[in-house]
Structure 1
Amino acid sequence: MSRASDLPVSPPVSALDRYFEITKTGSNIRQEIRAGITTFLTMSYILFVNPQVLSSAIKIDNAFVQILMTTAIAAAFGSLVMGLIARYPFAQAPGMGLNAFFAYTVVLTQGIAWQTALGAVFISGVLFVVLSVVGARQAIVKAIPLSLKFAITAGIGAFLAFLGLKNAGIVVTNPATFVAMGRLVDPTVWVALIGLIISAVLLKRKVTGAILYGILITTVIAIISRAPVYAGGPKGALQAFPGFEGKILGIFATPIWPSGLVGQLDIGGAVGLGLISVVFTFFFVDFFDATGTLTGLAQRSGFLDANGDMPRARRTFAMDGLAAMFGAFMGSSTTTAYVESASGIGAGGRTGLTAVTVGVLFLLSMFIWPLAAAIPAAATAPALILVGAMMMEGVIHVDWEDMSEALPSFLTIILMPLTFSIANGVSLGVISYCLVKGLSGEARKVSPILYGVAALLIIRYIWLAEG
C-alpha cells in the first residue's frame, strides 16, 4: 500500500499561470514572454510609420513625437486589455491603411478637421462594442463557413508574406506589370534574404524562439555590415545604422505627454449628417479587417472549437472596439488587432500573457524608443514571410473539388495580398460564397445572417463606386 508521500507531487502553479491557463495550453511563462517580444519586434515599425502618416494631417507642435507617444499608449492599452480581459495572444495598435484613409482622404482631401475625424473613429469604436456585447459580431463570425475561415487564415498568411516581401524590397512596384522582382544586390534585399535563410534553418532545427533569434541575428548583421537599410538618410535615402547619438545614456529618450492630441476629438461634429459616410467607412472596413484578423489568428492558434467558433468571442470583439475608442481619445486613428500577432503565435504564444508582454514593451518604448529604431524592416520582413508560409496550411481543409467552396476560398486568399486589404478578401469571399451557393441549388446551406452580410457588402461597394 503506497503512502501519500510516495505519490507524485504536481509542480506548484503560480497565480499568473492559473489566470492565463498557461500550462493548460502547453506553454510556459518564458515562452509567452519570448512570443510577446517577437510580436512587438515585428510590429514596432508602427511607432515610426504611424507618426509619419498622421503628421501630414495633424498640424501641432512637435507632431511626430506626440503622435509616436500616442501610438505607443494606444498600442499598449489595446494589447493589455486584449491580454488581461480577453486573454488571447492578439496584440493591438493603430492600424495601417485606416491611418492613411484618416490622413489623406478624410482630412487632406475632404477637408474635414482632424479633431472631427477622431470623433468619427470614436463613434465607430462605440458601434464595435455595442455589436459585440449584443452578440452580433459573434453571430456573423459563426455564420461564416469553415472553408472560408480556413481561407481567411491562409489569406492572412499570403498577405503577411506579401507585406514581408514588400518590406524586404524583394517585390517592388512596376508601371508595366504592377509588381516585379527587386534588385537582389540591394542591401535591404540581401540582408532580408540572409535573415530568411537563418530563421528558416532555426525553425527546421526546432530551435525555441527561432523567429525572435532570427530577427535579432539579422539586426546584428545589418549593424555590423553597415548596410544602408535604415530610414532617415538625406533626401529620404536609406542609411547605415546611425547609432544612438544625442540620447540620454545613448539609448534613452525622455517621453513627453501628447497634450496636443489627448481629448481633442470632436464627437459632436462627427455625428453631423455629412460625416455618415466617413463613420460608415471607418466602421465597415475595420469591422471586417479586425473580424477577419481575429478569426484567422484564432484558427492559427488552435482556439477554434469543432464548430469553428472562438471561445470568449464576445469579450474579444468588445476589447477590439474599446481599443478603437481609447485610441481616438488619445489622438490616433483606429486601433485594431494586428495581423503581425501571428509572428508571436508562431513563436509559441498561446495566452494573454503574450499580448500583455507586447503592451508592456510599448509602454517601455516611450522611454527607450531609440532601441526600436535599431530593428530595420529588413530584419522583421523574414518573420512575416515565414509566418505567412506557416499560415497557409489552412488550405488543406478546403474542398477544392467543390467549386462552391473552392472559388470563394480562392478569392478570399488571393484578394488579400493583391488588394492589400484583409477586409476586401473577406468581403469578396462572403459575397461569392452566397452567390455561388444560392445559384447552384444549395441556398439553404447558407446562414440567413451571411446573406444579410453579403447584401450589406454589395451595397457598400456600390456606394463606394458612386462616391
Structure 2
Amino acid sequence: MGLKGWIHDTNLRIARSPVGRWFRLENSGHWSNVIQKPRERKGSFFFTELRAGLATFFAMAYIISVNSTITSESGGTCVCPADSIADFCATNQEYLICVQEVKRDIVTATAAIAALSTFCMGLFANLPIALAPGMGLNAYFAYTVVGYHGNGLIPYSVALTAVFVEGWVFLGLTLLGMRQWLARAIPVSIKLATGVGIGLYLALIGLTYSAGIGLVQGATSTPIELAGCAAEHFDKETGLCISSEKMRNPTMWIGIFCGGFLTVLLMMYRVKGAIIMGILLVSIISWPRSTPVTYFPHTALGDSMFDFFKKVVTFHPITKTLVAQDWNISDHGGQFGLAFITFLYVDILDTTGTMYSMARFAGVIDERTQDFEGSAIAYMVDAISISIGSLFGSPPVTAFVESGAGISEGGKTGLTSCVTGLAFFISVFFAPIFASIPPWATGCTLVIVGTMMAKSAANINWRYFGDAVPAFLTIAIMPFTYSIAYGLIAGILSYVILNGTAWLLEKASGGRIVPPNKDESDPWSWKVPGGVLPPWVKRAAHGKKDFWRQDEEQAVHDDLGSMESSHERVAIEKAPHNAQEPTTKAL
C-alpha cells in the first residue's frame, strides 16, 4: 500500500469513527431523515483538516508576540512612580522590568485563551474559525483605554473589568438574538469602513516606536513626521529624532527588509506561514547580544530579558495579570462606561463581520436569513472567551480573518479549529521565545495586516454620498485621532444626520425632494429575514420541551439555504421523503 492509499484508508476510518460523525466529515454517514440526504460536509477529510488547522495557526501565531507587545505598552498592573508618567516611565529601569514581566504574562495568556477559545469553537460550533485577542481591540485597550504606560482613561485593572462585563453582556445579547440582529442592521458602509479604519490604525501603530519599527513619530510643526533614529539620538529637550540621524536606525531597516519586504514576497508566492517566518527571522537576527540590532542590551533591563530568554522551553505562570480586575469603578464611572460601550460595539462589528465572512468562505451561510450554521453557539463561545480572557489579563477575544488561510487549505469543519487550538496550547510552553520577539520584528506585520483589512474599501458604495461620506469619516478618523471609538462615532453620527435629513425632507415634501441618485444607495432596514428572536426562543415559546435541539425541518432548510445551485435545491425539495437510504450512508 502506497502513501496515498494509507492516507485514504486513514481518512475513511476516522470519518466512520465518532470523531468523524461529530465533525460531519465526508463519508461519516451524518444523515437527514427528512430528505434522505447526507448532511456531512463534502470535501472534508481528516488530513485536509489537519493541514488546514496548522495553516491557520502559522498564519495567526504572530498574535502571541504582537498582542503581548501592544498590551504590555499599557504598563499592565505596574505602577510608575512619577507625575509625568509617559516620559519618566520610558526610562525607569525598575518599572520597565515590571513591564517585561507583564509582557511574559500576556504571552502565556494570549496562547492559553487562543487555545481554549479556538478549540471550543471547533468542538461545539463545528466551524473552522480561530479566536484570539483581537488586533485593533488590543490597540484600543492599550493606547486609548489604559493609555501608554497607564496614561489613559482608566487603570488596567478597571479596563479588564469592563472587558469581563462586556463578555457576559455579549452572552445575553446572543441568547436573545439581539447580537445577530444588531450586526445585520448596521449599515453596510459602516461595517466595511470599520475594518478599513482599523487596518490604517494598525499600520500607524506598526510604523511608530511604541510597537513598531519607529519610522514615524509625533512632531511640533506638523502632526507627524519621519523618524528612524536610534534611542540615543533623540533630542533631550523636544524628545524628537535629530534630523541628521533620521532613517539611520539599523533595527528599523532590519524590520523593513526582513520583516516587511521578505514577508510580502513569501506571501506573493503563497508560502504558508510567511508572516511568522518574517517575525522569526528578524527576531533571530536581534537575539545575539553583541550586535547593533540586539534586543538584549547590556543594561539591567536587557539582562533581565536575556535571563528569561535563556530558559527557551518553560511554562511561565501568569503572576501579575491573573484575576487583576478592580470592581471599584466609582471613581471612573463615565470613562468605564465609554470603554465598555466601545468594546461592546467594536466587538459586534469586528467579531460578527469576521465570522460572517469566514462562514461564507466556508460555504455554511443561509442565503435567506444571512445567518450561518451554528451561529448562536459560535457567538456564545466567543462571548464566554472574552470574559475568561479578561481573567488572564487579556484584551477582548475575537474571530480572526487569518482563519481564511485554513479554509483556503480545505478546512470545512471544526476539526480545523481543534488542530489550531492544540497548536496554541503547545506554544504556551515556549513563552521565553515569544516574549523575546522585538517590536521591530512585528511592526511590519501590523502594516501587512492593515493591508489585508483595507481591501474591504473596494466594496464600499462610493457612488452615493449618504454612504460614502460616513464610510470615509469612519476610515479617516480612526488613525487621525488614534482612536477606534472616535471613528465609529463619526461614521454613525454622520450617517444618521445625512440620511435622516434626506428622509425627513422626502417625507415633508411628499416625495418631491429626493437625492437624484438615491436609487444607488445601500438599502437599510431594521427588519431582518428570519426575525429578531433566535430559533430556540421560538421553539420554547411554542412549548417544545427540548427547545435547545434544532428542528429537523430547520436543519434541512439550513442545508438547502447553503446550496450554491438553485436547481439542486429544487430537485431535493421534490424528492420523496420516504426514499430508500442509499448505500453510501454506510461510508
Task: Classify the TM-score, shorter chain.
Answer: 0.7 to 0.9
- What runs of 5+ residues in structure 1 fail to find an aligned partner? 1-7, 451-467
Structure 1 position 365, deviation (Å): 4.7
Q: Is it true that 1:54 corresponds to 2:76 in the alignment?
A: yes
Of the candidates 293, 296, 301, which is equivalent to residue 228 of structure 1?
A: 293
1:423-460: CA deviation from partner (whole Å, max 9, x where unpaired): 4333322222222111123889543589xxxxxxxxxx
Q: Residue in 2 aligned with 1:464?
A: none
TM-score of the superposed pair, with normalisation by structure 2: 0.61
1:218-241: CA deviation from partner (whole Å, max 9, x where unpaired): 3344447945263776487xx7x9
Which protein, 1 or 2, shows the higher relative CO under an 8 Å CA cutoff with sep ≥ 6?
1
Q: Which has the larger radius of gyration?
A: 2
Q: Is it true that 1:171 corresponds to 2:216 in the alignment?
A: yes
8 Å Cα contact 1:247/1:253 also seen in 2: no
1:8-36: CA deviation from partner (whole Å, max 9, x where unpaired): 99963654797287975896422321321
Q: Residue in 2 aligned with 1:463?
A: none
- CA pair 395-275 structure 1, distance change in 2 beyond 3 A: closer
Q: Is it true that 1:129 corresponds to 2:129 in the alignment?
A: no
For 2:220, the aligned partner's letter is: P
For 2:481, the aligned partner's letter is: T
8 Å Cα contact 2:217/2:227 also seen in 1: yes
8 Å Cα contact 1:78/1:92 also seen in 2: yes
**1:327-338 alignment runs, 5 A limit:** 327-330=389-392, 332=393, 334-337=395-398
For 1:414, the aligned partner's letter is: A
**1:299-310 alignment runs, 5 A limit:** 301=358, 303=360, 309=370
Please identify, of 393-402 and 213-222, the stretch whose mean Cα deviation from structure 2 is larger.
213-222
Q: CA RMSD in A?
A: 4.5
Q: For the residues of structure 1 that align with 2:335 and 2:428, how far apart are their CA atoms?
A: 31
1:31-52: CA deviation from partner (whole Å, max 9, x where unpaired): 3213213312244233355456
1:274-328: CA deviation from partner (whole Å, max 9, x where unpaired): 6653552332111122222224434664637568945244333333331232234
Q: For the residues of structure 1 that align with 2:305 and 2:336, how far apart are their CA atoms?
A: 42
Of the candidates 19, 23, 29, which is equivalent to residue 19 of structure 1?
A: 23
Q: Is it true that 1:320 corresponds to 2:382 in the alignment?
A: yes
For 2:525, the aligned partner's letter is: S
8 Å Cα contact 2:162/2:339 also seen in 1: yes
Q: Residue in 2 aligned with 1:207?
A: 271
Q: Residue in 1 aligned with 2:514?
A: none
Q: Residue in 2 aligned with 1:97?
A: 140
Q: For the residues of structure 1 that align with 2:419 and 2:194, how far apart are their CA atoms?
A: 26
Of the candidates 224, 245, 253, which is equivalent to residue 314 of structure 2?
A: 253
- CA pair 381-253 structure 1, distance change in 2 beyond 3 A: same
8 Å Cα contact 1:90/1:355 also seen in 2: yes
- CA pair 378-343 structure 1, distance change in 2 beyond 3 A: farther
8 Å Cα contact 1:343/1:383 also seen in 2: no
1:406-426: CA deviation from partner (whole Å, max 9, x where unpaired): 111112222232233334333
Q: Residue in 1 aligned with 2:61?
A: 40
8 Å Cα contact 1:161/1:385 also seen in 2: yes
Q: Is it true that 1:143 corresponds to 2:185 in the alignment?
A: yes
More helix by share: 1
Q: Is it true that 1:440 corresponds to 2:502 in the alignment?
A: yes
SS of residue paired to 1:399? coil
Question: Equivalent pairs: percent with the same residue?
Answer: 23
SS of residue paired to 2:312? coil
TM-score of the superposed pair, with normalisation by structure 1: 0.74
1:144-184: CA deviation from partner (whole Å, max 9, x where unpaired): 23333222332233233333223122232223322222323
8 Å Cα contact 2:185/2:527 also seen in 1: yes
For 2:346, the aligned partner's letter is: D
Q: For the residues of structure 2 that align with 1:171 and 1:108, how far apart are their CA atoms?
A: 21
Of the candidates 470, 478, 490, which is equivalent to residue 416 of structure 1?
A: 478
Q: For the residues of structure 2 that align with 1:220 and 1:198, how far apart are their CA atoms?
A: 15
1:374-429: CA deviation from partner (whole Å, max 9, x where unpaired): 43322323333223223322222222121111111112222232233334333322
- CA pair 211-377 structure 1, distance change in 2 beyond 3 A: same
